[in-house]
Amino acid sequence: MTSRTPRLLLGATVLAALLLAPTGAATAAPDARATGGTASAEAAGPAAVFLTHNVAGRLQNEGRTDPVAADLVRAVRSRTNVQGGVLQEICANQARVADRRLSGFRIHFFATGVRCASGAAFGNAVLLRNGPVVRNKVALPGDNSRIVGCATKKSPRLAVCSTHLVAARDDGAVRRQQGARVAQVAAGYVRRGFPTFVGGDFNDTPTADTLDPLYRRAYGGGARGVFTESNGCCGRSGTPTLGTAKFDYGFASAKWRVVRSWVGDASSSDHDRLWTVLRRR
């Protein structure tokens, strides 16, 4: 676990502003660190909120159902207009219990072949509103336990993909290959006309070659993809999500406009939550 920024107390001025806010407006946690805009409130109107989070379910939480499931449910319920999310390092039991507790959502779990301490499967997951989906799991190069899992909906049309690349201590060449494969899979949904959100723990910093196949060309530095990152266009940077490093990302296709994003504390994980607000174009 990394050290946490102390939570801020709401003063009378902030409290008054919250009381006067329009009904239904959702505010960010007091310790949220904003990127690409203010985190004080989600935009009114047809906005869509997406979550990126490595929940650290296997090692840090040793496969225990709670607090992982409880924290995930609490986080999703704390926001209005949540349409989806991408989760990493989650055990099947944690995903199953959170799925039961989250009315109106389904958690689509993708096993990686690794097991949690409880014996439950371990992997990534996609959070979506209720409705029929088509699932797709693609193995990534160089490591059989690394995948990208995607779920698509026809109404409203949407593709969401979750991934977790090899860690920094492993071969960077493999991580670059994996990043390219993730970009290829996600771009396939873009070509088919799906508004697409792809995210996860890429175990690399924004300027790394690993991210070149995802960032659209306007970002520079070798970028050759078709996506805008949660931090907005076009700086390859962002608020840290793991200690002092940004390893967690949300990439949106051109059918989305990035409104803002922010990072908020997660008490049961060493990774912070990344929230992204999008609007359909």
The pLDDT value given to residue 33: 62
Tell me the average pLDDT across 142-149.
93
Tell me the average pLDDT across 77-95.
97
CATH of span 43-280? 3.60.10.10
Taking the C-alpha atoms of residue 277 and residue 80, their distance in angstroms, rounded to an integer, is 11
Taking the C-alpha atoms of residue 92 and residue 107, their distance in angstroms, rounded to an integer, is 10
Tokens representing 91 are 């055990």
Tokens representing 86 are 């991408």
Report whether pLDDT(80) > 70.
yes
Nearest to 147 by CA among 197, 108, 111, 106: 111
Amino acid at 110: F
Taking the C-alpha atoms of residue 90 and residue 110, their distance in angstroms, rounded to an integer, is 9
Tell me the average pLDDT across 41-60.
82
Cβ proximity of 29 and 274 under 8 Å: no
Summarised one tens digit per residue, pLDDT across range 163-207 is 999 997 777 999 999 999 999 999 999 999 999 999 999 999 999
Considering the entire predicted model, what is its pTM? Answer: 0.86
Taking the C-alpha atoms of residue 131 and residue 99, their distance in angstroms, rounded to an integer, is 13
The pLDDT value given to residue 9: 32
Q: What are phi and psi of 24, to 5 degrees?
A: 95, -10
Give domain limits for the chain: 43-280
Tell me the average pLDDT across 31-54.
65
Summarised one tens digit per residue, pLDDT across range 94-136 is 999 999 999 999 999 999 999 999 899 999 999 999 999 999 9
Nearest to 138 by CA among 201, 188, 205: 188
The pLDDT value given to residue 169: 74
Tell me the average pLDDT across 148-162.
97
Report whether pLDDT(251) > 60.
yes
Strand partners, 85: 51, 127
| Percent share of the chain, pLDDT over 70 | 84
The pLDDT value given to residue 143: 85
Average pLDDT, the chain: 87
Report whether pLDDT(271) > 80.
yes
Residue 19's pLDDT band (boundaries 50, 70, 90)? very low
DSSP 214: T
Cβ proximity of 202 and 174 under 8 Å: no
Cβ proximity of 178 and 165 under 8 Å: yes
Tell me the average pLDDT across 231-241.
97
Exposed / middle / buried, residue 242 (Cβ in 10 Å: 0-12, 13-18, 19+): middle
Q: Which residues contact 132 (CB under 8 A, 6 or more apart)?
A: 153, 154
The pLDDT value given to residue 35: 58
Tell me the average pLDDT across 36-54.
68
95-98 contacts: CB < 8 A, separation 24 or more? 95/69, 95/125, 97/65, 97/66, 97/69, 98/68, 98/69, 98/72, 98/73
Residue 32's pLDDT band (boundaries 50, 70, 90)? low
Taking the C-alpha atoms of residue 109 and residue 228, their distance in angstroms, rounded to an integer, is 25
Taking the C-alpha atoms of residue 179 and residue 273, their distance in angstroms, rounded to an integer, is 21
Structure-model confidence comparison of residues 183 and 43, the more confident one: 183
